[in-house]
Amino acid sequence: MNECKKIERKLVEFLEKKQKNPDTAPSTKVKKHLEACQDCSHVANSPVLSKLFTHFWRKAESAVELETPDKLAFGQIWKFSYGAKDSKPAFGVISSEKFRAFEQVSEAIRITPIFFNPREKELSTEDYHIPSYENPLEIPILLEYWNERPILVSQLAEFMGMLTETQQARLHKLLTNPPEAKLNRTMQIFREYELEKGNLYSAAVFNELIEAEKAYEQETEKAPEPLLKLVLQIGKQIYETTIDLINENLVAPLKSPNLVYAASEADSFKKAKSIYNNLYNLIEENGMLKTFEVRYTGQGPIRIKSSSESFELSFIFKDGKEETLQSGSANKIEITQEYLKNLDIAQLDSIVITAVEK
Amino acid sequence: MNNKNKFGFLEVIESLLLNNKRHISARDYIELESGIHASIRKIIKRHELQNVIQEEQITETAGNFMLELLAPSETSFIMKLKAAAINGSLQEEYGYILARLFTLLKENAPQNVQEYFLFSDAVKKTLKKLAKSDKISQIKLGCYAISATSELAQGSTISFPQEIVAKIPLKRQLVNTNVKNMYLEESIIQLLTACPAMYFRANVIASALYKYVEQPSAISIEEIMPVNSDNTTAKNIEIPDMSGNPDSQMSSTALDEAVSDIFALFDLQNEDKKDTVLLCGLGYFAKLCPDFFTPEDLGQDNYELLCASALGETDTIQIFLDKIAKSHLLKVKTGRTTTSNMTNFFKNSLSPLLQDYTIEEQRQIIRALVHRLLEEYAPLLKSR
């Protein structure tokens, strides 16, 4: 085998000439090797194998070895792991600096997930897809800027290349100023599926946060300042915010198309997202602050928590009926998947949060 | 082909596509060539094409396939193969390769083989139609007998018993009639009636009948099959409008074709492990989308286990397999590792087959696939 490797270059040169002119004779050295080596002789005598052999030998010769950069930076493409040990890896473009806003949790980083070989029907006019010849993976890719999210730095497995500066600029623009995409049902379903998959990418980050919160709750009754900071830094993907509940009702009218869609799909995940979105809007629109949190990680219950006040959360239905949940000892309400399953969301009129005196 | 060799040639392809600096020797290229040849032979055997495909077509198909690896342009096949290679999924790569080789084999085939494919498709459609109208019985997927009442043995996988074929009048009918639909139906019934204690794969039946078609050039699919007004393919599905038009539903023909393709490729890839892999698939879907199932479909016990228990995926499927193996004396291995491997095998085999469809279409196909799996394994799901 070593002999074969030594003569490879000369063999390739001979085969390239032979492909152009079949009468080309090998040099004495090559001839001698071909007489002695059955494998090389078989390849040399097969027009197809000989073409493959020369083509890929030249390609390997000119390939530039990819060096893993010293620092993580915007625009780098990485393979990363998620889920069970034997799950397929996923790919993403780094879209933030590393961060660790809370000492009990691991370092995290935001990524824009990559989808291979996007299907035309599922792409909106605002989607950013890059053809195979313009990216280092050499296959058509979609940059899911609408699915940007945190993962743990330890999930990153292999550096795969860089986006060009122009591509980085375009991605940056999409992330900082996302366009309003017009989505048909096919596109909407694709995005929802990818967002669900994205929740799995970020599960490790969320799980660490939940664990950190649990640990903190055992130590103190008050919500920790550092945890709130962390939540804000991780941003919208953790689906969390804070408000000030000032003894008045916060009412969320349920008019969003998202809710109508969720009602038609009757899927508890979509219901949960819809309820979450409405709670989020309710809190955001009222411009409140400090001690009120609404959280939904894409799995498990929606958690609404106030660190200082008891409260009630009421679902008001169109027919005037009302279902009220009351916060427990930790000033927390959890809307479980089981509860959501039985909630007739299409009949909902509004959600009301009311402070309750202890 | 054993697993080592199978994945050996796939690893060569992976190295070529990813240009991953692994030294590729002349020996590797020979392994590549023989792996591709072996895969083509496997397809030929599975489709009972031994009598119609010549050695030179195998060489030509293998050559065309290998030259595709050189293609500088973005062929959809190479892009999908590359994505699977980047993901490091050899099983997925193998699925793409088998599907591509079959397509190339059909494309490279001379007129007589093209005619055979048309004929074989017509026989398969006629078999389904006959089974639907209870004129024959589908014993298991793609296998038919005249009746399911007696204990049946599997008929030859190579050919129909000649002494029986010689006695029945189908020969005369097929030779003399340009194979009109009604004669094909009659011939199939005669053939299966002649062997009442056996069941046969559709490909064996097609292969047996084809020997008696004297003028294959006279065959046209339109003649054999009535024109179906509902024969839109997956590629023709309209994009729904912004309001969420229900027209995004795939036609039943397109769904049926997609599911049949899935079963054909599973058959090809998994051979003797097929039942275990598909039962793992059924368990996996029940765990993943319980809404697709009812207690009547699965049996109350299985339903509670698969759709409502809090156990993890592998544990649930393992218990499910174990239960079936014990109550139906099915020869399946039910160890935890085997279950996990077979379930992953199912997922990885399915993935390339769905790749061309949108998520919306994939959901419809999966629902249809679940339906077909339930039909296929209904006898095993009932408690004994």
Q: Rounded to whole angstroms, how far apart are CA atoms B383 and B299?
A: 7
Tally of structural domains, chain A: 3
Give residues with Cβ within 8 angstroms of B48, minimum separation 6: B157, B158, B201, B203, B204, B206, B207
Taking the CA of residue B81 and the nearest CA in chain A, the distance in Å comes to 10
Whether residues A335 and A264 share a domain: the answer is: yes
Q: How confident is the model at residue A231 (pLDDT cuts 50, 70, 90)?
A: very low
- Secondary structure class of A13 (helix, strand, coil): helix
- Residues A55, B356: C-beta atoms closer than 8 Å: no
Answer yes or no: do A184 and B33 touch at CB < 8 A.
no
Q: Is the pLDDT of residue A15 over 90?
A: yes
Residue B191: the pLDDT is 81
DSSP H or E stretch at residue A85: none
Query: What gap in Å lies between CA A241 and CA A304, rounded to an integer?
Result: 10
In a domain, A344, yes or no: yes
- In the numeric block, the tokens 């029945």 are attached to B168
Mutate to test the interface with A, among B69, B359, B364, B365 (most CBs of A within 10 A): B359
Check pLDDT > 80 for residue A69.
Answer: yes
Of B21, B24, B358, the CB nearest to A190: B358
Chain B hits for A86, CB-CB cut-off 8 Å, are 340, 344
Chain B neighbours among A 154-183 (CB < 8 Å)?
182-183
Is B30 close to A49, i.e. CB distance below 8 A? yes
Of B82, B87, B355, nearest to A88 by CB-CB distance is B87
Give the H or E element holding residue B384: none
Chain B, nearest residue to A139 by Cα: B79
User: Is residue A207 very low, low, confident or very high in pLDDT (cuts 50, 70, 90)?
Assistant: confident
In a shared domain, residues A31 and A150: no
pLDDT at B176 over 70: no
With contacts defined as CB-CB under 8 Å, which chain A residues touch B27?
A: 1, 39
Strands B198-201 and B153-154: parallel
> From CA B224, how far away is CA B217, in angstroms rounded?
13
pLDDT of residue A278: 63
pLDDT given at position B171 = 47
Per DSSP, the residues of A138-199 read -S-EEE-GGG-EEEEGGGEEEEEEE--HHHHHHHHHHHHS-------HHHHHHHHHHHHHHH
Nearest to A59 by CA among B77, B26, B17, B86: B17
Lowest mean pLDDT among A34-43, A58-67, A322-331: A322-331
Instruction: State how far the Cα of B21 lies from the Cα of B12, in Å rounded to an integer.
Output: 12
Is the CB of A321 inside 8 Å of chain B's CB atoms?
no
Least-confidence region, from A48-52, A68-72, A122-126, A201-205: A201-205
Among A142-146, B198-202, B342-346, the range of highest mean pLDDT: A142-146
| Helices then strands, each counted (H, E), chain A | 11, 15
Please indicate, yes or no, whether residues A94 and A162 belong to a single structural domain of this protein: yes
Least confident of B17-31, B41-55, B151-165, B281-295: B151-165
pLDDT at residue A356 in the model: 62
Shared domain check, A175 and A265? no
Any domain includes A200: yes
- Number of C-beta neighbours around residue B175 at 10 A: 13
For the record, the structure tokens of B351 come out as 């993935």
- A282 lies in some domain: yes
Residue B198 has pLDDT above 70, yes or no: yes
Quick check: B248 and A185 CB within 8 A? yes
- Decide if A64 touches B, using CB distance below 8 A: no
Q: Decide if A139 and B356 are in contact by the 8 Å CB cutoff.
A: no
CA distance B212 to chain A (A): 38
**Which of B29, B89, B358 has its CB closest to that of A49?**
B29
A12 and A35 part of one domain: yes
Nearest to B109 by CA among B216, B240, B218: B216
Task: Return the structure tokens found at B202.
Answer: 């559709």
Residue B153 has a pLDDT of 65
Q: Can you tell me the mean pLDDT for B254-263?
A: 82
Question: Residue A178 has what pLDDT?
Answer: 86
pLDDT above 70 covers a percentage of chain A that reads 65
Query: A94: left (phi > 0), else alpha (psi -120 to 50), else beta?
Result: beta
Whether A195 and A80 share a structural domain: yes
- Do A179 and A279 reside in the same domain of the chain? no
Range ranked top by mean pLDDT from A16-30, A95-109, A262-276: A16-30
Count other Cβ atoms within 10 Å, centred on residue B320: 26
Q: Average pLDDT of A250-257?
A: 34
Going by pLDDT thresholds of 50, 70 and 90, the confidence category of residue B243 is very low
Average the pLDDT over B37-46 and give the result. 90
Write out residues 117-136 of A within 8 Å (CB-CB) of B. 117, 119, 121-122, 131-133
The predicted structure's pLDDT at residue B378: 78
Q: Of B29, B247, B337, which to mutate for an interface test with A (greatest number of A Cβ within 10 Å)? A: B29
Q: Which of A74-83, A240-249, A276-285, B197-206 is most confident?
A: A74-83
Range in A286-300, B89-103, B141-155 the model is least confident about = A286-300
Q: Which residues of B touch A (CB under 8 A)?
A: 16, 19, 21, 23-27, 29-30, 32-33, 62-63, 66-67, 69-70, 74, 76, 79-80, 82-83, 86-89, 239-242, 244-245, 248, 340, 344, 355-360, 363
Which residue among B16, B32, B80 places its CB closest to the CB of A117?
B80
Residues of B in contact with A60 (CB under 8 A): 19, 21, 24
| 3-class secondary-structure state, position B200 | strand
Average per-residue pLDDT for chain A:
75
A125, two tokens: 């006019």
Residue A230 Cα, gap to closest chain B Cα (Å): 32
Residue A221 to residues A214, A331, B226: CA-CA distances in angstroms? 11, 10, 75
Expressed as residue numbers, the domain containing A288 is 239-356
Q: Which residue has the tokens 């949940």?
A: A325
User: What predicted TM-score, i.e. pTM, was given to this entire model?
Assistant: 0.69
The C-alpha atoms of residue B198 and residue B58 are separated, in whole angstroms, by 32
Q: In the structure, what pLDDT confidence band is assigned to residue A329 with cuts at 50, 70 and 90? A: low
Residues B161-176, mean pLDDT to the nearest whole number: 53
Instruction: Give yes or no for residue B87 having a pLDDT over 90.
Output: no
Chain B residues with CB-CB distance to A117 below 8 A: 76, 79-80, 83, 355
One-character DSSP codes across A232-298:
HHHGGGG---EE---SS-EEEE---HHHHHHHHHT-HHHHHHHHHHHHHHHHHHTT--SSEEEE--S
Contacts with B, A 240-279, CB within 8 Å: none
With an 8 Å Cβ cutoff, are A1 and B82 in contact? no
- pLDDT score at A53: 94
Among A26-35, A65-74, B305-314, whose mean pLDDT is lowest?
B305-314
Q: Quick one: average pLDDT of B53-63?
A: 91
Amino acid sitting at position B333: K
Lowest mean pLDDT among A319-328, B167-176, B184-193: B167-176
Quick check: A354 pLDDT over 80? no
The per-residue pLDDT for A236 is 31
Strand-pairing partners, residue A334, are A303
Between residues A67 and A337, which one has the greater pLDDT? A67
Q: Let me know how long chain A is.
A: 358
Highest mean pLDDT pick, A4-8, A136-140, A197-201: A136-140
- Among all residues of chain B, which has the CA nearest to that of A61? B21
Nearest CA in chain A to B246: A185
Taking alpha carbons only, the member of B88, B75, B66 closest to residue A56 is B66
Distance from A42 to chain B by nearest Cα, in Å?
8
Please give the span between the terminal C-alpha atoms of chain A, in angstroms, as a whole number: 83
Rounded CA separation A18/B66 (Å): 19
Tell me the pLDDT of chain B averaged across its residues. Answer: 76
Query: Lowest-confidence range among A22-36, A69-83, B304-318?
Result: B304-318
Q: Are residues A24 and A108 in the same domain?
A: no
Please give the pLDDT value at position B333.
65
What pLDDT is recorded for position A330?
65
Report pLDDT for A112.
96
Q: Which of A189-203, B45-59, B318-332 comes out lowest in average pLDDT?
A: B318-332
Q: How far apart are CA B236 and CA B233, in angstroms?
A: 6
Return the closest-CA partner of residue B9 out of A48, B107, B17, B350: B17
- Measured between CB atoms, which of B66, B242, B344 is closest to A52? B66
Question: Which of chain B's residues have a Cβ under 8 Å away from the Cβ of A51?
Answer: 67, 70
**How far apart are the C-alpha atoms of A59 and A235, rounded to whole Å?**
44
Taking an 8 Å cut-off on Cβ atoms, the answer to whether B24 and A43 are in contact is no
Q: In this model, does residue A162 exceed pLDDT 90?
A: yes
With a pLDDT cut of 90, the percent of chain A lying above it is 36
**Residue A347 resides in a domain:** yes
Is the model's pLDDT at A239 over the cut of 50?
A: no
Interface test with A, best of B91, B243, B284, B360 (most A CBs within 10 A): B360
Assigned domain for A216 exists: no
The whole-angstrom distance between A120's CA and the closest CA on chain B is 9
Higher pLDDT, B100 or B351: B100
CATH of the domain at A199: 2.30.30.110
* B148 and B197 Cβ atoms separated by less than 8 Å: no
The chain A residue lying nearest B356, using CA atoms, is A119
pLDDT for A258-316, tens place per residue? 222 222 233 445 556 666 666 665 555 544 433 455 555 555 567 676 655 666 777 77
Q: Is the pLDDT of residue A237 over 80?
A: no
Task: State how far the Cα of A17 lies from the Cα of A31, in Å rounded to an integer.
Answer: 14
Record: contact A52-B244, CB cut-off 8 A: no
